[in-house]
Amino acid sequence: MDDQDGPTGHSGMALTELTVVGVRVELPSQQPIVLLKEAGGDRYLPIWIGAVEATAIAFAQQGVVTARPMTHDLLRDLLEALDRPLRSVTISDLRDGVFYAELAFDDGVTVSARPSDAIALAMRTGCTIRGEEAVLAEAGVAIPDEQEDEVEKFREFLDTITPEDFDKDS
């Protein structure tokens, strides 16, 4: 999957490493989003996700350890038990407003996944998260350095949010 010009995805397009900025609840819809940032760039990729996945990502980001393994912890433990390390996660496509992701393993095997699940698993395994350039070109939002204070406000918000904030019953 990698060539001399850098990593490329299944479509041959360039891949860009992404970092997880965090999760938040979009108002007024109360819809959680995960925000990814282009490593070494100024594009952000917001992906709307479910409340359960938002909680899973927030738990991983905050280092919360539950008494019993949550689903993404179970998947991580299963991969470790089977000695099948996850190599990378790629946000691979965007069709009709729906994002797609792939889990890549060291033997070239890929498995389709929802981006929210893929990100939650990547955060637990420490593997790289990447995005296809076509996805970033279509859905990425450039925020120049002079607007970084807005991103900093978002990060401050993330520092104050708790997983319970994603519970729709409260």
pLDDT at res. 78: 96
3 pLDDT tier (thresholds 50, 70, 90): very low
Once rounded to an integer, what is the mean pLDDT over residues 130-135? 97
pLDDT at res. 143: 82
64 with 49: CB under 8 angstroms? no
96 pLDDT tier (thresholds 50, 70, 90): very high
User: Cα–Cα distances in Å, from 9 out to 15, 128, 146?
Assistant: 6, 13, 32
Whether pTM exceeds 0.85: no
pLDDT at res. 47: 96
Q: Which residues contact 148 (CB under 8 A, 6 or more apart)?
A: none
Where are the domains positioned within the chain?
2-154
| Phi–psi pair at 91, nearest 5 degrees | -80, 105
Once rounded to an integer, what is the mean pLDDT over residues 20-43? 91
40-75: pLDDT as tens digits? 999 999 999 999 999 999 999 999 999 999 999 999
44 with 37: CB under 8 angstroms? yes
Once rounded to an integer, what is the mean pLDDT over residues 18-47? 92
Q: Which residues contact 142 (CB under 8 A, 6 or more apart)?
A: 42, 43, 44
Once rounded to an integer, what is the mean pLDDT over residues 100-107? 95
Tokens for 160?
Answer: 């104050």
Tokens for 16?
Answer: 């860009």
Q: Which CATH class is domain 2-154?
A: alpha beta
Structure-model confidence comparison of residues 169 and 87, the more confident one: 87
Mean pLDDT of the chain: 86
